[in-house]
Chains A and B, each alone.
Chain A
């Protein structure tokens, strides 16, 4: 009886992930008024100089909110050597905010001075795997704090893949000893656009490495799903979060909203969905 009660308490203790949201100036007021938000993610590229950091973020830090620097331009999946200045910038932000870790993507952004301004998929072959891991290990060494890696959304695939996406992500995380940032909306996008089974994907991931989960809304256009970050959350992504919570401990979950900001009640509802999933 007592043992059962303890088990229930323990289950409750691991069942509730910490709640977070992507910090955007438009959401600063909303975030300041929510006492249940325990972490925010900041886009590293938005704060080129530490002097540009808004007071709202410093106030959150003072309140004990964890700030996670999140990069989009490191191009860890690029075949060229990574730009150490970008790694230094992530490190400087992490030092400034005393962040426990920083996060980036398994993606390439540029090649030979052509910059896509976007996260693009990497060819999933053994030689590319070596290159990506070498880049990540080099970034990790320069960072000095853990680097958490995220799966991206794509509408197309490279030909000649030698492994599936989940297998590729799994191999990278194991070889580089990095944590996982699982974007369930990106997973929804890819499983729809590239036609694979999302449950099998989750089963193939090393979920014990999960650090946090991204959730965002998107839109269907001509049969393809675009992860826009400016539309309402999809019911499918919320259901996927419920499924994930049954498969492993989800330490943190956060909402990403980048544009076309709805009334705050809608954001509140979406955060509620993340908690109740």
Chain B
């Protein structure tokens, strides 16, 4: 039982390291192919944006604006994890972030 628990802990740490590479730009963990991880990371990011747009169709138009695109990039950098409750909540969090950033720009910060 103890061995199983230790094993879980070690495996959890390995899975976390892989996610840091896939979502947060960390180097691929030992033994993984860096190119494969970068390709998968790009695909995950595209999927995240696509599913957010599906849940919030207004995002398509909002993201046509390049300054909003830049705000999306900064949102993703600040929030490398997808929302645990799915794309609807993820998109909602981004829309909130966008509103605050625009407001900060509006008041000159």
**Which A residues fall within an 8 A CB radius of B?**
45, 48, 73, 78-80, 108, 110-118, 120, 123, 127-128, 130-131, 134, 154-160, 222, 224, 226, 259
Contact = CB atoms under 8 A, between A and B. Distances in A.
B43 A226 contact: yes
A117 B87 contact: yes
Given A110-B19, A117-B82, A155-B40, A160 B31 contact: yes
Interface stretch (B4-12, B66-74, B99-107): B4-12
Contacts of B11: 79, 123, 127-128, 131
Given A73-B86, A155-B36, A155-B40, A114 B7 contact: no
B22 A80 contact: no
Given A111-B16, A117-B87, A128-B11, A134 B4 contact: yes
B58 interface: no
B82 A224 contact: no
B54 A259 contact: yes
Given A110-B19, A115-B82, 13 more contacts: A79-B11, A79-B14, A110-B81, A114-B20, A117-B44, A117-B86, A123-B11, A134-B4, A155-B36, A155-B40, A157-B36, A160-B31, A226-B43
B43 to A, nearest CB: 7
B37 A156 contact: yes
Contacts of A48: 85
B22 A116 contact: yes
Nearest to B87: A117
7 contacts: A48-B85, A112-B16, A117-B48, A123-B11, A123-B14, A134-B4, A156-B32
B65 interface: no
B108 interface: no
Nearest first, the 10 closest Cβ-Cβ pairs linking A and B are A159-B31, A117-B82, A79-B11, A79-B12, A156-B36, A111-B15, A114-B19, A111-B16, A127-B7, A112-B16
Interface of B: 4, 7-12, 14-16, 18-20, 22-24, 30-33, 36-37, 39-40, 43-44, 47-48, 50-51, 54, 80-87, 90
Among A45, A113, A116, A128, residue most surrounded by chain B Cβ atoms (within 10 Å)? A116
Contacts of A158: 18, 31-32
Contact of A108 (B4, B15, B30, B82): B15
B7 A116 contact: no
B80 to A, nearest CB: 7
Contacts of B81: 110, 113-115
A127 B81 CA distance: 27
Nearest to B29: A159
A245 to B, nearest CB: 32
B19 A117 contact: no
